Structure 1
């Protein structure tokens, strides 16, 4: 419930695996073709993800195809925005795979951003990025970052240090995405030390989706924001569960 001093927002982060279906580890091999070809009921999966996104105010996407052969040349972030009724959307293509598939971070929002930035992240192998949307005016405005971090520890360390520098002057910040690591990993400490972002109060396992035992998808909040609830929910047949969270935001951060 909103009060005169706060507004409740519903957030969602989802690695959608470009609409592909993975229900067991063997699917990474037996269904590997679906990561390169425009088949495998991707449109049906996207429609299910749109239905999930519809109940939220700000949605961060990872592994959304920006319009390659794999998706039938469909910009999946744009498609989801239209199907779920979001007026504002942005995407950040950041990786091409063999000329047949591409991957992007995406943002869907019911609030109009004041500014949206995209930044390439450092790392041994390129193709990772962070999308930063600012709502409200000045450094007190809400800042929402969407990222997909590397599998390697050293690359993650440099990426998290980069993101920490981006968010260090924002007391009302959200960082969401697929971190590929637990929230208490050593490389996460630079983020907590340089910003007001805090580790989650309770880890919510999101991977693998068919038997989740690892909390590697996160929505981190700065100390100026208050979490109301958090839960993992299916994102169609992606190998990750989506993470949904309700938060209270100071009203002045959204002006």
Structure 2
């Protein structure tokens, strides 16, 4: 039996999809800025590519998606990706509601049943950052808590958000926190709240910008009890961030 097909292993992917916009130069942030507010060609094709990538995983966390608005022609991108990837269980949570133009959201898609625990608005000077908190259940194995996040650009707000996340997971659950953290692994490793919760980043590879990476800002944090294998950044240039993939070994129900 291969590593990826063992019943106790969960293949995990995380990606900031930039609402289906593919960037290949810094100037695109200016020349294509209108595409963040108005419908444009090519987005559906990029989403189809992301869906094909996601189909190889059991659990996928998405950041910078849209839950259905003018710019996506009312398409809920999380639902669309879940259908394309054939991942039957999904949840979406709107962080910043700018209807009719945009509904910025987080998403999670899963091959295994999901239980929505909560959507947490995260602290910060400006509203609009959040964490989507779910539980993955596979028969015979302990539930896995998965929190999908997109954190603030500013260090002061981000420090408060990391403190919130650490306190959220101090109860000792098997957990993954994944997403766009907008900071490097050193900041995460040094944060006292994350250390108390036993959360550590699983890779140190560069993820941003996708066309010539210079920063490691997309992460998966795992609690100490989880076995993590094959954690790596994928060379799949589907947005302005590169995806992070890994395999997690679930703990059997009888384990304490």
Instruction: Compute the TM-score of the two structures, normalised by the length of structure 2.
Output: 0.91
Gaps of 5+ in 1: none
User: Distance in 2 between the 1:48 and 1:188 partners?
Assistant: 36
User: How far off its partner does 1:19 sit?
Assistant: 0.3
User: Distance in 1 between the 2:42 and 2:188 partners?
Assistant: 39
User: Distance in 2 between the 1:77 and 1:171 partners?
Assistant: 26
Once the two structures are superposed, residues 165-197 of structure 1 have per-residue CA deviations (whole angstroms, 9 ceiling, x without a partner) of 111113311000000000111785134322011
Aligned to 2:231: 230
User: How far off its partner does 1:136 sit?
Assistant: 4.5
Structure 1 range deviating more: 186-195 or 50-59: 186-195
Aligned to 2:163: 161
Please show how residues 149-228 of structure 1 align to structure 2 within 5 Å. 149-185=151-187, 189-200=191-202, 202-228=203-229
User: Distance in 2 between the 1:65 and 1:240 partners?
Assistant: 16
Cα 1:12–1:186, aligned 2, differ >3 Å: closer, same or farther?
closer
Please show how residues 69-148 of structure 1 align to structure 2 within 5 Å. 69-97=70-98, 99-136=100-137, 141-148=143-150
Aligned residues: 250
Cα 1:186–1:217, aligned 2, differ >3 Å: closer, same or farther?
closer
Aligned-residue Cα RMSD (Å) equals 2.3
Cα 1:199–1:186, aligned 2, differ >3 Å: closer, same or farther?
closer
Cα 1:10–1:88, aligned 2, differ >3 Å: closer, same or farther?
same
Contact 1:231–1:243 (8 Å) recurs in 2: yes
User: Distance in 2 between the 1:224 and 1:253 partners?
Assistant: 14
User: Distance in 1 between the 2:254 and 2:39 partners?
Assistant: 42
User: How far off its partner does 1:230 sit?
Assistant: 1.7
Deviation beyond 4 Å, 4+ runs, structure 1: none
User: Distance in 2 between the 1:237 and 1:197 partners?
Assistant: 28
SS at match of 1:89: strand
Contact 1:67–1:102 (8 Å) recurs in 2: yes
SS at match of 1:251: coil
